[in-house]
Structures are given as structure tokens and as C-alpha cells.
């Protein structure tokens, strides 16, 4: 038994001596066999040879072609300030089988000699900012905004024009591909991935707009040039407006902005129960006309306010005042297809028409009911601005009203009546002023 142990020990010493001898005979200054740097074989190369080999490989692999629809965008990794840590990686490769104690080094080299491979990564750095800047350039060359399908009136007929889809570059995908190229130095060509952007309005939906749902007209004094101007401006910016399913139309949202305000002129407006000169007088006639077209179209009215004074161009309970803030006309399209708001101004009238799908056409009447007439008071005041015996009607005053507005659906066997709005027009007191100032009698003296 003792002899067997001695034999085995001798064999072990023999192999150990052979390995040591092999290591001793190995040409110093070279990397051991079966060592790779990022799949680049640097076996049996000196440090300088390994550095040259890796640098040559990088130089031959640093270009990347990005392609899109036949266009090629050539980039070089140097554009991104890529810095490969070649010396660090080669030094790490060289130290394999050398950096530990003799027994560990022998084990490592033995495994490599028996065919085991050891690979280390090629360290690098790059400029994130440069990559992002290049991606922005690619986006500027490829991306485009979607163009909505359009519907317009042409010779009293609805004409629909097709949409164009937008294009968006997948930034994350593109950056991942560039960084992967830096990391692996593989793949000389990559397809730029894009996403198509659907426009808000598409032909398939707009083509369903084929019927007049409701229309209304109001008249104005054509000789009031400033007011006519404002009606034209407001009419233009609230015409050809598409409202999608479940979307809310806001009159104010369509007539705000410096461009529009710059086109308005002073004209009579109602403010705090009185008529006075103000910028944009006449706009409310447009909102009131659209409001009534929306009523006849069966749209859901979500916000409406009446003036404080009944308007001469429309009956009580059917006006819709607008101003800054929440004094707005708003309604929602609850139909399954879009609607189109279209205004047309003639010499002395404005016509608002709302178009939609024939399936949504309803037989509708609008009724108003004065539920209360509110008398005003007569206020008598004294003033020293008038002589005794003189009087002045300072404010004519007016009576007030409470008016209910109903929408009546007549499609079924029995009409269905829907309360839309309760209008309140406050009364204004009549004010009469009597003079208190004494008259001075001058005597004429003869000389």
C-alpha cells in the first residue's frame, strides 16, 4: 500500500515538473493560448501585437449604415467619441495565468492548454450627447407630422380629402442599435424602426358625414361695419370645425389668440346689463346662431349662458353669450361619427349648419316659454344739475323675464320634451331725475 502511494506521488511530481517545465519554456511576454478579447483571439501574441490586432479590428468595424426606404445614413463610431480601453483589456488578458500564486496560475494555464477558453470584455466609453444629437438629426430627416383628412363645402356639396399618416422614429430602438454596435462591433447595417402616427381625422370617418343635421340663421344690420367685421371674423374661426365622437366643442377655444383679437373692432356689446361700446361686439350673434344649429342637430349642450338683456336678433331663451373665462358655448358630440360645423355669412345674415351622418338625423323643434315676467320699479331722484320744474329720464328701464328653452323630439309616436336651459333676464329700474336748482332772474336796468 505504501509502495502504491509512492508511485502515485512520483507520477504527480512528474506531471507537475512537466507543467512547470512547459511554463518555463513558454516565451515570456506573450498572452497564453485560448484567450479572447470580445471574440478577438489574442492567443500567443505580445502586448503590442494584441493591441495592434484589436485596433485594426476596430478600425475595420467602426462604420454603421442606418437604412430607411433606400436611404443610407453612414455613421462612424468616432463621431460619438468612442474610446476603447485597448491597453487595459490587453493588460488584463496578459495577466491571465500570471497574476495569482504559482499553483493557481498553473491550474489556469492547464485548463487553457486543455482547450478551455477565457474571454474578457473590451471596455469603452462614448458620448451620450453626441448619439442623442445624431438621433435628432435622423428624426429631422425622416419624421413628419400626420395630416388630417379634410372635409369642405364645394358648390354646396361635401368633399372629403384623404389623410396622410405621420412618421415617428423609434428613438430607443435606434439608440440601442448604435450602442450595441459600439459594444459588439458587429453588424454593419441596421434598419431604422419607425412608428406610423394616425391622424386625428381619417377619410373613413369623415366620409360618413353626409347629411345636414341642423341649421339656423340670424339677421344683422349690414350698415354697422364694425359689427359686421366681427361677425365675419368669429364666423370664419368657428367654421369648418370637426368635432369627433365624444369630443366637446368650445366656442371660446376657437376664437382666442392674438391673431384673432387683432382683427376685431369696437362695436356695441352688452356688459353688466347695459349696452356700451366694446371690442368684438357681434361675436355673440355667431355663438347664438351656432347654439341654435346645435339644438336642432340633437347635440348635448354642456355650457350656455344668456345675455342680461334680450337680443334683438333672436328670441328670448335662444341666445348664447360668450366672453373670457367660463362664459362659453360648449356642446358634446355624442354620435358615433364626427360632425362638421359650417358657417356662411351673407350680406345681412349668418347661417350656421351642422353636418353629420344620416343615421343621427332627428326631427326636432325648439320651443321657448316665458314662465315669468318681472316688473321693474320707477326710481325718482333729485339732482341739482337740473332746474326746478325740469326732469330727465336717466334710465328707461325694462322688465325682466324668466324663460325656459325646450328641445322637442318628434320622431316617435309621442313628442319627447327636453328642458335645455333656464334663462334669466333681470329687470332694470326706470330712473327719473327732477331738478332742484333755482333759476336766477336777472333784472334789466335802464340808464
Q: How do residues 409-432 score in pLDDT, each as one tens digit?
A: 998 889 999 999 999 999 999 999
3-state helix, strand, coil in the chain (%, to 5): 30, 35, 35
pLDDT tens per residue, range 79-124: 999 999 999 999 999 999 998 999 999 899 999 999 899 999 899 9
Mean pLDDT of the chain: 90
pLDDT tens across 114-157, in order? 989 999 989 999 999 999 999 999 999 999 999 999 998 888 88
6: helix, strand or coil:
helix
Contact yes or no for 273/426 (Cβ under 8 A) = yes
Cα maximum dimension of the chain: 175
pLDDT of residue 445: 59
Determine the pLDDT at residue 19: 47
What's the CA gap between 250 and 323, in Å, rounded? 12
Give pLDDT tens digits for 274-287: 888 888 899 999 99
- Give which of 173, 421, 414 is closest to 294, Cα–Cα: 421
137 phi/psi in degrees, rounded to 5:
-65, -45
Angle between helices 128-142 and 171-184 (to 10 degrees): 130
Please give the pLDDT value at position 21.
45
Q: pLDDT-based confidence at 25, cuts 50/70/90?
A: very low
Contact partners, residue 49, CB within 8 Å, separation at least 6 = none
Residue pointed to by grid coordinates 435628432:
136
The burial class, CB within 10 Å (0-12 / 13-18 / 19+), for 106 is middle
pLDDT digits (tens, 9 = 90+) for 218-247: 999 999 999 999 999 999 999 999 999 999
Place of cell 474571454: 119
Measured CA distances, 32 to 50, 86, 101, 270, 430 (Å): 12, 17, 16, 95, 111
Whole-model pTM: value is 0.72
Domain coordinates of the chain in residue numbers? Answer: 214-360, 363-447
Q: Does CATH place domain 363-447 in 3.40.50?
A: no
Joined grid coordinates for residue 96: 491571465
Amino acid at each position: 500500500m505504501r509502495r502504491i502511494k509512492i508511485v502515485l506521488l512520483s507520477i504527480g511530481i512528474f506531471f507537475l515538473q512537466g507543467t512547470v517545465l512547459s511554463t518555463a519554456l513558454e516565451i515570456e511576454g506573450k498572452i497564453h493560448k485560448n484567450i479572447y478579447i470580445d471574440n478577438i483571439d489574442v492567443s500567443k501574441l505580445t502586448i503590442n501585437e494584441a493591441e495592434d490586432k484589436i485596433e485594426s479590428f476596430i478600425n475595420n468595424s467602426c462604420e454603421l449604415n442606418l437604412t430607411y426606404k433606400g436611404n443610407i445614413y453612414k455613421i462612424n463610431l468616432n463621431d460619438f467619441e468612442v474610446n476603447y480601453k485597448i491597453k487595459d483589456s490587453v493588460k488584463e488578458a496578459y495577466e491571465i495565468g500570471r497574476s495569482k500564486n504559482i499553483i493557481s496560475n498553473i491550474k489556469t494555464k492547464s485548463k487553457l492548454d486543455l482547450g478551455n477558453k477565457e474571454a474578457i470584455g473590451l471596455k469603452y466609453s462614448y458620448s451620450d450627447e453626441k448619439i442623442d444629437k445624431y438621433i435628432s438629426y435622423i428624426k429631422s430627416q425622416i419624421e413628419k407630422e400626420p395630416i388630417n383628412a379634410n372635409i369642405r363645402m364645394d358648390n354646396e356639396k361635401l368633399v372629403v380629402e384623404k389623410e396622410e399618416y405621420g412618421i415617428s422614429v423609434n428613438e430607443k430602438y435606434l439608440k440601442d442599435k448604435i450602442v450595441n454596435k459600439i459594444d459588439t462591433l458587429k453588424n454593419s447595417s441596421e434598419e431604422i424602426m419607425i412608428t406610423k402616427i394616425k391622424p386625428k381625422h381619417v377619410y373613413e370617418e369623415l366620409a360618413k358625414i353626409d347629411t345636414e343635421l341642423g341649421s339656423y340663421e340670424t339677421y344683422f344690420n349690414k350698415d354697422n361695419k364694425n359689427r359686421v367685421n366681427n361677425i365675419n371674423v368669429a364666423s370664419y374661426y368657428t367654421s369648418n370645425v370637426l368635432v369627433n365622437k365624444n369630443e366637446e366643442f368650445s366656442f371660446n377655444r376657437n376664437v382666442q389668440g392674438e391673431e384673432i383679437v387683432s382683427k376685431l373692432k369696437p362695436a356695441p356689446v352688452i356688459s353688466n346689463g347695459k349696452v356700451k361700446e366694446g371690442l368684438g361686439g357681434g361675436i355673440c350673434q355667431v355663438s347664438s346662431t351656432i347654439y341654435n344649429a346645435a339644438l336642432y342637430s340633437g347635440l348635448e349642450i354642456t355650457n350656455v349662458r344668456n345675455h342680461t338683456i334680450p337680443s334683438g336678433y333672436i328670441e328670448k331663451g335662444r341666445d348664447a353669450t360668450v366672453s373670457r373665462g367660463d362664459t362659453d358655448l360648449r356642446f358634446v358630440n355624442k354620435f358615433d361619427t364626427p360632425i362638421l360645423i359650417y358657417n356662411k355669412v351673407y350680406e345681412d345674415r349668418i347661417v350656421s349648419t351642422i353636418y353629420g351622418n344620416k343615421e343621427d338625423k332627428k326631427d326636432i323643434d325648439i320651443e321657448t316659454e316665458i314662465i315669468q315676467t318681472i316688473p321693474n320699479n320707477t326710481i325718482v331722484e333729485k339732482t341739482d344739475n337740473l332746474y326746478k320744474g325740469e326732469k330727465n329720464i336717466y334710465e328707461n328701464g325694462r322688465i325682466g323675464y324668466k324663460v325656459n328653452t325646450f328641445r322637442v323630439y318628434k320622431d316617435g309616436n309621442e313628442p319627447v320634451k327636453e328642458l335645455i336651459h333656464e334663462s334669466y333676464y333681470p329687470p332694470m329700474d326706470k330712473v327719473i331725475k327732477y331738478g332742484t336748482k333755482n333759476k336766477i332772474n336777472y333784472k334789466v336796468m335802464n340808464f
